[in-house]
Structure 1
């Protein structure tokens, strides 16, 4: 009897383009998880030329087991993030098809949002920008995502 290696957990980044630098930094902090085959990451900047962006986003939003909502004033103000990605993410979360994780990047009124009932990262839902050292904040996020990915891999 051989042990089958588990398939990497797909992670979808839902974010406002104004927060791209922070998304890039988070992605760097998740590199070890990717290198170890624990996760694969996807965001809209990976859409190839000539592909239909709406279709690509919908496909990955529907196939990802972890959906990260990168919360900031830009995110809350983005009609696309709010009306399309948050709506679909929460539908999949409620159906237990995906785990939605809010990642608080900056101060914004989010505590009455549909995802406010979910445990957020980094630790204590303290916004990344409030941490004196952003790397410590992203380490907290990476550790949280590692735990969720492990849990999902065991239960799949």
Structure 2
């Protein structure tokens, strides 16, 4: 059986009459999501507690992927001046996290320089300070006793059911501070200004549509003379 051939329809539309999606419509991207402001965390710790610092950094991984920068002195490049780099990062940080331990409280640099400098910035409302008890120590005999510590109730990780459970609690607590800082940064960020109208563009539409009324000349009336 011969195959049927499709004939040309009797009436075809011109090529130009076919509606095609415009280039603008094709390039239209989905609504952009507002980028979150970067939050910077300065981690202060004694090098004796490097294991606790690494553990905390691991549990903060979801926040690091969410745009939070976690800084500690191991990030300093070789050849850089230690004091200058530490002072610069501390000034730029939004959150100061101190890892309390016997070695931290005994360290002149950790306690008398980094921690006290951070508390000074906190007093000027320039920084949040969070103390994390990573080992049993005498923090209750310090001014830090007047603040809420992490993990919950300042109980060190070794007294929890597992160290990971303690660090999960720490990461959750720091996460709440991160969200609070982000809200403050968003509130302070400048809002986009509205475009100013062009000169003369503020005329009302009614004024633009006014058409002058044509003048009608009176018709001359001719009367037949009775004379």
Query: TM-score by structure 2 length?
Result: 0.66
**Which fold has the larger relative contact order, with Cα–Cα distance below 8 Å and residues 6 or more apart in sequence?**
1
After the TM superposition, which residues 16-95 of structure 1 pair with which residues of structure 2 at under 5 Å, given as runs? 16-37=46-67, 39-95=68-124
> How many residues are matched?
155
Is the CA contact 1:90–1:114 (under 8 Å) kept in the aligned structure 2? no
CA RMSD between the two structures: 1.4
1:12 Cα deviation from its structure 2 partner = 0.5
1:2 Cα deviation from its structure 2 partner = 6.8
After TM superposition, the runs of 4+ consecutive aligned structure 1 residues lying more than 4 A away are none
Between structures 1 and 2, the one with greater strand share: 1
Query: TM-score by structure 1 length?
Result: 0.94
The partner residue of 2:145 within 111, 116, 122 is 116
1:146 Cα deviation from its structure 2 partner = 0.8
2-side partners of 1:90 and 1:131: how far apart?
28
Stretches of structure 2 lacking an aligned partner (at least 5 in a row): 1-30, 186-227
Query: What is the match of residue 155 of structure 2?
Result: 126
1:11 maps onto 2:65 in alignment: no
SS in 2 for 1:116: helix
1:132 Cα deviation from its structure 2 partner = 2.8
Answer with 1 or 2: which has the greater Rg: 2
